[in-house]
Amino acid sequence: MRKKNVDSIVAGEILAKTLYTQDGRVLLTAGAELRGNFIGRIKLNGISEIFIEDDISEGIVVIDTICEETRQEAKQLIRNLIEGYTFSETLNVGNIREIVYKIIEELLSNEDILLSLSEIRSVDDYTFEHSVHVCILSLITGIDLGFDMVRLRDLGVGALLHDIGKLKVPQEILKKPSQLTVEEFEEIKKHTIYGYEILKDNKQINIASAYIAFGHHERFDGSGYPLQLKGENIHLCARIVAIADVFDALSSNRVYRRKLHINEVVEYITSLSAQHFDKHIVESFVKHVIVYGVGTGVILNTLEKGIVVRLNKALPTRPVIRVIFDKAGKKLTQYYEIDLSTKVNVSIIDYYDFDEYIY
């Protein structure tokens, strides 16, 4: 299987991963043949990418960091929590700790935790998916830093609810398609304070989780908000979530911009370590990020083009590649595979979009 932009779908292609609607219902099941009406339904649900099965990706299996069912459950919990608060002004977080424990258990069951958030994402459902991804990213980092279960729970709950204060920001500001005024941006910045106020008095939530909502936009050099805190004056969990928040935002498609490649996001975050971010936490974070995930199209320094078949856990930046095009750009009649962990003179130099050239 491999990921493909919906605008490049060709009728008759086979869906490789089940698609879900924004409320968690099955939209299309894996194995469905993509006909015109199906393609239309995918686009109507705001889905910009899907996984397909084809000859160049035959036998390739993309395994996510946590299972799809858990991710969907977490997303729906956040949706229900936010929608319930909107109507009642009371935050019921009873199930949040349970889903956080479930995510922690799945992460701890992986002998080598490598970040592979390759699931399908909807541009229209960004708020809920972003919260879940920030939670997963933060927990992976907390595990690497040696957090115990109680601290992981507080980190996960705070990460899942880090943007809860946006409920008190006017929707016309949050969803404004044009540039914000100075006054509007100042109102946006208040979501950190609003979030802290919502969480700090909730008896089901530890104060550490509230500090995450308050401090996830503080920056290590004091350039953040709301209090321009510096260094270790920023709560440790908030420093973790700050990195996860930026990473997921930059690696996600938005209405107003396309996502960056993972290597670009890693370079950006790394370049800002010890300025915006805690350098020690950045080091823990990035060593679990897969720059070239399974199913990704790549260009080699030999100018051959291929697709990532599987990772080498000891050397995740040097995966096994299935070569599809020769150095002259001609599609091979018979593909072959190269294990970059054993070919020191061959390396990946860029990403490659097969759909611009195959059809």
For the chain, domains (ranges, CATH) are 2-53 (3.90.105.10), 68-286 (1.10.3210.10), 297-356 (no CATH)
What's residue 113's pLDDT? 64
Residue 29 CA: distances (Å) to CA of 19, 199, 330: 6, 38, 34
| Cα–Cα distance for residue pair 199/48, rounded to 1 Å | 34
Strands of the sheet containing 49-53, edge to edge, are: 2-5, 49-53, 14-15
Give the torsion sign (CA, 119, 121, 125, 127).
positive
Contacts of residue 358, Cβ cutoff 8 Å, sequence gap at least 6: 56, 331
Say if CB 326 and CB 299 are below 8 A apart.
no
- Per-run averaged pLDDT (10 residues), the chain, 359 residues: 85 90 85 88 84 90 82 88 72 85 91 57 66 94 95 97 93 84 94 95 92 98 97 97 95 73 91 93 91 90 95 85 95 95 93 69
Q: What is the pLDDT of residue 117?
A: 53
Go through 142-154 and write b for each residue having 16 or more CB atoms within 10 A of its CB, e for each that does not: bbbbebeeebbbb
Q: Are 96 and 77 in contact (CB under 8 A)?
A: yes
Q: Is 2 exposed, middle or buried (0-12, 13-18, 19+ CB in 10 A)?
A: buried
Q: How far apart are CA 49 and CA 121, in angstroms?
A: 7
Long-range own/partner contacts, residues 264-267 (CB < 8 A, 24 or more apart) = 266/291
Q: How far is CA 315 from CA 2, 76, 275, 284, 320, in A?
A: 21, 35, 28, 16, 10
Question: Residue 216 has what pLDDT?
Answer: 98
pTM of the model: 0.88
**Nearest in space to 272 (alpha carbons), one of 343, 345, 221:** 221
Tell me, what's the pLDDT at 67? Answer: 84
